[in-house]
Amino acid sequence: MVRNLSVNMCGVDFKNPVIPASGTFGFGLELADSMDLNTLGGISLKGTTLNARYGNPTPRIAECAAGMINSVGLQNPGIDALVSEKVPALRKIYNNVVIANISGFSLDEYVACCAKADECEGVDIIEVNISCPNVHNGGMAFGTSAQSAAQVASEVRKVCKKPVFIKLSPNVTDIVSIARACEDAGADGLTLVNTFLGMRIDIFRRKPVVANKVGGFSGRAVFPIALRMVWQVAGACSIPVMGCGGVSCAQDVIEMMMAGAKTVQVGAENLRNPRVCQEIVSELPSLMEKLGIEDINEIIGIIH
C-alpha cells in the first residue's frame, strides 16, 4: 500500500513534511551535488538580515555530549543577495517549498526584509526569527516578550501576501502566551523551537569555549523539551505549527506530528549527517506501515 506523506499548510502543498531547518542547510545549493534536493518537502534557507553580516568572532562552535552550541551570529549575504541570487539559483534545481528565514534587529528591519522576501517569486513561506536582540529596546530579544513578538507579527503581516510563520524562542517562561499573541496579531503559523541558550567552558584555558561566551544549544538533547513545547502550543493555538528541535530520525518526526506539528524541521543533525533529511523521508513509509498509518495527516495532533 502506498503511504501518503503529503501535507497542506496554509495553502502550500508539501510532498512530505521533512524540512532542513534554517542555518543547518545553507541556501540548499551547498548540498546539491551530494543529494537529490527534490526529495525534501521544503527547505528553510539560511537566516537573512537586511544587510550582509560577517557574524560573531571565532571560535563559534562548542561540542556537547548530545548536541552543540553555536554562536555564528547570523553570517549571511543580506536580503538583496537572497532574492536576486540565492533563491533564483536554487529554483533552477529545486521544485518544492522554499522558506525564507528572516531576522532583524529593529522592527523596521524585519518589515523591510520580509517585504522583499515576499516579492521574491521563488519564496513560498516567510519564516520570521524573533530570537534577535531589539537594539531599540535594551537588547532584549523580540521573542521573549508577548508584546514585542506580536508587534513583529502584526507589522510583517501588513507587508506580506505569502504565509508568515513566526519562529519562537524557547528561552521564555511561558511560550504559549507568546504563541497566542502572535496568532492574535495575524501570524499564519508558528515554528518552534529555536535554540536554547547554552555555554561550555574550556577548563584548561579557564575561558568560555565560544568567543561570544554563550550560544544556541541544539541537537538530540533538546528533543523532549521541544516536543513538549510543540504539544503545548499546538493545543493552545489554531494556526499550524512547524516542529523543530533535536529531531534526528523518522520516529522523531512522527512524535512531533502526533504532538501537533504539521511539518517538521531537522536542524543540528544535518551538520552531523548532511543526508539525514533524505534518509528520514525514505524511512517514513516503512515506519508508517509498522504503525498502521496510511496517511500522515491522520496523526497530526492525535494526542490532543
In the chain, domain spans: 7-55+77-197+219-299
- Going by the DSSP 8-state scheme, the letter that residue 212 receives in this structure is T
**Taking a C-beta distance cutoff of 8 angstroms, is the pair 6, 13 a contact?**
yes
Q: Which one has a higher pLDDT value, 138 or 291? A: 291
What is the per-residue pLDDT across 51-84, written as a single tens digit (0 to 9) for each?
Answer: 999 999 999 999 999 999 999 999 999 999 999 9
Any catalytic annotation for residue 249? no
> pLDDT digits over 228-268, tens only?
999 999 999 999 999 999 999 999 999 999 999 999 999 99
Provide Rg for the chain, Cα atoms: 18
- Whether pLDDT at 136 is above 80: no
Please, which pLDDT band fits residue 37 given cuts at 50, 70 and 90? very high
**Residue type at 259?**
A
Cα first-last separation, the chain: 28
Among 173, 284, 164, smallest CA distance to 232 is for 173
- Look over the chain and give the mean of its residue pLDDT values, rounded to a whole number: 96
Query: 3-class secondary structure for 139-190?
Result: CCEHHHCHHHHHHHHHHHHHHCCCCEEEECCCCCCCHHHHHHHHHHCCCCEE
d(CA 83, CA 120): 6
Among 132, 237, 244, 277, the active-site one is 132
Q: Which fold has domain 7-55+77-197+219-299?
A: TIM Barrel (3.20.20)
CB 53: neighbour CB atoms within 10 A? 18
